[in-house]
Chains A and B, each alone.
Chain A
């Protein structure tokens, strides 16, 4: 069964460093998303991406964040200058269409020291 994959599974970085989280969405899906979950809190929407552009972003997704689909399979989230409060689990998700079921990847656990 097709699934969303994410790398790395864990990332430890120093405050102020740049990180890139990678995702491979399900191959026939057209909509891609990033969510995050701070430990003990709820899953929060960051950004949605369709047709090579951001379709919506949350207040969390400030200028330090960017997304890119560099080729036909990868979808990346970059955090330019990490802060302590960026420590969280980051989930990538994809769906066939708008309003359709979103399937989540296994997540990347980011720890900023």
Chain B
């Protein structure tokens, strides 16, 4: 099993809809998770971090972490064309409980149709 797995997409949603992005992770990955947005040719930009089981909301974004299922998701409400990008799921991995590096999934391409 890959350490962090995502469906590469593309995921196409109409403007105003909810976009749901999913990610699974292996036992090796620690319990810190991050969602980044990456526009073509640009660097990853942090959307959300989540460390605890459950939901975390920030504006139109909600991250969900389910440690029992090793699953983390990102919901984008009221999707806008400007949300069209690749969404990267990343898990922390390190020694002694300290995260020294991020392991990224391949990213899911989201296309929001006007």
Contacts and interface: CB of A to CB of B under 8 A. Distances in A.
Given A42-B105, A42-B106, A99-B32, A105 B43 contact: yes
A45 B42 contact: no
Nearest to B46: A101
A103 B46 contact: yes
Contacts of B105: 42
A104 interface: yes
B88 to A, nearest CB: 7
Contacts of A45: 101-103
Contact of B92 (A99, A104, A105): A99
Interface in A14-58: 31, 33, 35, 41-45, 48, 55-56, 58
Contact of B101 (A48, A103, A104, A107): A48
Nearest to B49: A101
A75 interface: no
A43 B94 CA distance: 17
